[in-house]
Structure 1
């Protein structure tokens, strides 16, 4: 019987969330830099996030951390520029997770390619006895993919990368593979997508959640 009650409560909260207006929620926009793309063997090198509140990016909320417990960087410094000496000045992954758990309380997590980032977060949380409970997860890459699916433009191999997605909305070019810059870039992309989808009208979260 208890599982039925929990199921109904979950369903109720999901339905209520979908009816919430975009500007009525708070968002933690996260980016991770990684040693590779396989969550089973690769590691988080750095993490950064900032908050969107009332439809505006709060630059004063930005947080950026290096993971001092990375075992091997392999060839990844070629992309993100972080070396072992820099990591020595970083934080324990448990400290980073503690701050992220606090930041996410009562908020929606936003990533570009959420499936990838979430797989790494689940792994490190499992290994360090943490639980992340965002209200929901928004994926700017998935949002863009759905938007492009309604057009006649074919999807190329790199059509959904963060820089290419931003370019469609005439957003400025940023250097990539820096977690802090990429979190800001993702936040700006989300707001541009919301503006395009809503056409200046109020937008409910159900239009973005799938």
Structure 2
């Protein structure tokens, strides 16, 4: 029955107008790329409601329990002193559980972030399943290939995708800032693909 309920929720969201959808846009900062070896350093997320980015409801958590930052401060600028004022990983995950369970989760390369979250949720026996996931990187990959253009090696970075829609360059590697930049990109993509509010979620998957 749980599987059927999730399937119905996924079908309902796919056929929902984008203008009516409530989405949660997420970004994680990580110590590396392997969810079995590396850790979540920080998480930032914010909702989109009625095609509006709700900055007032944005959330940003640092994980004070990171065991080894390794070289990651070079990329995201978070050091051990900053982490000391953060939250436990479980507190971070409980906040995320409330935000994304049963909702539409959006990210740029969202499968990477979800791989880390899935591992962490399992560690604490937390049941968290988004109804649907949207990946702004994959949306742009499909658009570029459909238009017949070759994909350069760095053609799908967040900034490269933003530039295709005339969005300004974004200073990367702050989780909440990256989530906001991803939210802006998604709105631009929806407008380019099917005039924003006239889109169904399925048009973007």
Q: What TM-score do you get using the length of structure 1 for normalisation?
A: 0.93
Task: Report SS of the residue matched to 1:60.
Answer: helix
Q: Does 1:138 align with 2:134?
A: yes
Deviation at 1:109, TM superposition (A): 0.5
- Spell out, residue by residue over 1:53-94, the C-alpha distance to the aligned partner (whole angstroms, 9 max, x if none): 001101101111110010000011001111111111110010
CA contact (8 A) 1:114 1:138 kept: yes
Q: 1:45 aligns with which of 41, 51, 54?
A: 41
Please identify runs of 4+ aligned residues in structure 1 that moved more than 2 A. Answer: 5-17
Output the aligned Cα RMSD.
Answer: 1.5
Q: What TM-score do you get using the length of structure 2 for normalisation?
A: 0.95
Deviation at 1:12, TM superposition (A): 3.6
CA distance in 1, matches of 2:106, 2:3: 25
The equivalent residue for 1:68 is 64
Task: Report SS of the residue matched to 2:173.
Answer: coil
CA, structure 1 residues 13+159, in 2 after alignment: closer, same or farther (shift >3 Å)? same
- Spell out, residue by residue over 1:27-55, the C-alpha distance to the aligned partner (whole angstroms, 9 max, x if none): 11000000011111011001000010001
Deviation at 1:152, TM superposition (A): 2.2
CA, structure 1 residues 200+182, in 2 after alignment: closer, same or farther (shift >3 Å)? closer
CA distance in 2, matches of 1:34, 1:53: 27
CA contact (8 A) 2:17 2:197 kept: no
In structure 1, stretches of 5+ residues that fail to align are: none
Q: Does 1:123 align with 2:119?
A: yes
How many pairs does the alignment contain? 205
